[in-house]
Structure 1
Amino acid sequence: MVTRFDRNSVQTMANYEVVNVRGYDEFCQAVSERKGKDIFAYFTGDKDAEGNSWCPDCVKAEPIIKREMSHLPEGSVFIYCQVGERAYWKDPNNDFKKTMKLIGVPTLLRYGTPHKLVEEECFKAELVRMMFTEE
C-alpha cells in the first residue's frame, strides 16, 4: 500500500482516513469536521514543487511514519499537516507554536491527549508504533 501526502486530499485507507492539509486554519477545519474520532496529526515543513521539505528532520522521519501507519487504529484519522515555509515556522508567534504549543517539526501527536513525539523521536519506529497502538 502506498500512502501519498498530496495537499488538500483525503484518502480512506483499509481502516483509517488520511487527510492532507496546509496551515493552521486547514488543520483546525479538518479536526472540527472529525470530532469524536481518534485523530493523529503529523506536522512537517512545507514541501517544494519537487516534494522536498525544507526540514531535513521531516525528510528523515516521513518514511518511518508512513511505514508505521499500518498500525493505525480502525476508524482513526491521520492528518498530514504542512506547517508553512521555514520563515513562518521560525516566527515564535505562528499559530502552531502560540496556540498548539508545538516546539519543533516533525511532530507526531495523538490529538486531544498529551501523547506526542517531537523531532528525533519520530525517527524511532518503535515509538511511532506505540503512539498508534496504545490506548
Structure 2
Amino acid sequence: MAQYEEVSVHGYEEFCKAVSERKGKDIFAYFSGDKDDQGKSWCPDCVTAEPVVRGQMTHLPEGSVFIYCQVGQRAYWKDPKNDFKKTLKLSGVPTLLRYGTPQKLVEDECLKSELVRMMFTED
C-alpha cells in the first residue's frame, strides 16, 4: 500500500482546493499540460517527464500528498496572466514543486530521476 496520497486535479481552482483540504501535510505538486482523449499532453516535455516522476514516487515521504495538476490547454498556459504563472510563479511545464518551499524542478530538470528522487527524499 502506498504511504502517500495521490490526488488528480484540473485547473487552478481545483489545485487550491486540494491544497487547502490538506493543510499541514507535506505536499508535492506536479504540473503538466492538459491531456487529450488519448491521455497525451500537448506538452512534449510533460509526456517525457511523467514516467520519470512516477518512477520516483516510491521515495515520497510517509504521509505526504502528491497532487497531479493539469494546467489547461496550451493557449491558456501561454497567457502570462494565467493563475499558475501569476500566483504560483510557475515558469514552465512540467514543474514539480514541494508546496510552501522554494524547492522546484522545472522542465528538463523533471527528466532527471536523481533530481526528482532528491526532491522527494531531502528536507
Mapped to 2, the partners of 1:115 and 1:99 lie a distance apart of: 16
Consecutive unaligned residues in structure 1, runs of 5 or more: 1-12
- Aligned residue number for residue 27 of structure 2: 39
**Any idea what the Cα deviations from partners look like across 1:107-132, whole Å, max 9, x if unmatched?**
00000000000000000000000000
Identity of aligned residues (%): 79
Give the paired residue count.
Answer: 123
Report the aligned-residue RMSD. 0.5
2:112 aligned with 1:124, yes or no? Answer: yes
TM-score by length of 2: 0.99
Q: Of 13, 37, 48, which aligns to 1:49?
A: 37
- Aligned residue number for residue 26 of structure 1: 14
Mapped to 1, the partners of 2:84 and 2:39 lie a distance apart of: 22
Mapped to 2, the partners of 1:19 and 1:100 lie a distance apart of: 18
Q: What are the within-5 Å matches in structure 2 for residues 1-135 of structure 1?
A: 14-135=2-123
TM-score by length of 1: 0.90
Mapped to 2, the partners of 1:126 and 1:14 lie a distance apart of: 21
**Any idea what the Cα deviations from partners look like across 1:40-94, whole Å, max 9, x if unmatched?**
0000000000000000000000000000000000000000000000000000000
Mapped to 2, the partners of 1:49 and 1:58 lie a distance apart of: 16
